[in-house]
Amino acid sequence: KAGVTQTPRYLIKTRGQQVTLSCSPISGHRSVSWYQQTPGQGLQFLFEYFSETQRNKGNFPGRFSGRQFSNSRSEMNVSTLELGDSALYLCASSPGLSASTDTQYFGPGTRLTVL
Amino acid sequence: LAKTTQPISMDSYEGQEVNITCSHNNIATNDYITWYQQFPSQGPRFIIQGYKTKVTNEVASLFIPADRKSSTLSLPRVSLSDTAVYYCLVVGEYGNKLVFGAGTILRVKS
């Protein structure tokens, strides 16, 4: 099976712009989660979607949003970009509802640089 | 979800066994202990998960004492390619939210 794919892999934006990142989960997986990784804050949970519904949300401002489509593909959007949004954005997919029973598989990430 | 504490870094040499201990004093009854490995500029990769006693797979072993307040990831005969950050996580019965701590930077030297 193909792994989790994320596009684009690298992105450069300027402050105030908005950005949309895409994630295609492993075939058959219905859960998609998003994480932000920065040197200062480490890996932080953004949100989780299952069957097009947001099930869980991390402690991020409303500028960060996401959605999931009927084919389980997911997008996340960041509006009004700030310098501090520069990070590696990671997507993870899993087949079911619980991390205690279903392994999560991470994609390679999208490296976002905000200038 | 229970907070985890693990060493910031560890050094080892090729061929040695490496044990990374993680403490999770507030682990709940239905929580599992999960370890992930991450290489630079890549997403984390699942290594092993357990609930109690010992779990072994082709990559590692996980030792969990009866009180479950700590766990030890054991990597047998490490190689240079095992140099990475290792994260210990406690995962709940419901939901796919993973809470990552700072992790342990393992450096394997030749």
Q: How far apart are CA B31 and CA A81, in angstroms?
A: 36
pLDDT at B97: 85
Q: Is the pLDDT of residue B12 over 80?
A: yes
Q: Both tokens of residue B110?
A: 């030749």
pLDDT at B2: 73
Determine the Cα angle at B104 with ends B99 and B106, to 5°. 145
Q: How far apart are CA A62 and CA A81, in angstroms?
A: 12
When pLDDT is averaged across residues A59-67 and rounded to a whole number, the result is 96
Chain B residue numbers with beta carbons less than 8 Å from the beta carbon of A91 are: 43
- Which of B30, B34, B102 comes nearest A42 by C-beta? B102
Where does the pLDDT of residue A49 fall: very low under 50, low under 70, confident under 90, or very high at 90 and above? Answer: very high
Q: Which residue has the higher pLDDT, B41 or B109?
A: B109
Percent above pLDDT 90 for chain A = 87
Q: Is the pLDDT of residue B1 over 70?
A: no
Pairing state between β A31-38 and A87-94: antiparallel
User: E strands within A1-115?
Assistant: 5-7, 10-13, 19-24, 31-38, 42-50, 53-57, 64-68, 74-78, 87-94, 105-106, 110-114
- Which of B43, B96, B103 comes nearest A109 by C-beta? B43
pLDDT single digits (tens) B56-104: 999 999 999 999 999 999 999 999 999 999 999 998 877 788 889 899 9
Closest by CA position to B69, among listed B19, B4, B23, B20: B23
A59-91 b/e (C-beta count within 10 Å ≥ 16 → b): ebeeebbbebeeebbbbbebeebeeebbbbbbb
- The residue of B1, B36, B96, B105 whose CB has the most chain A CBs within 10 angstroms, and thus the best one to mutate to test that interface, is B96
Amino acid identity of residue A72, one-letter, is S
φ and ψ at B9, to 5 degrees? -150, 160
With H, G, I as helix, E, B as strand and everything else as coil, classify residue B2: coil
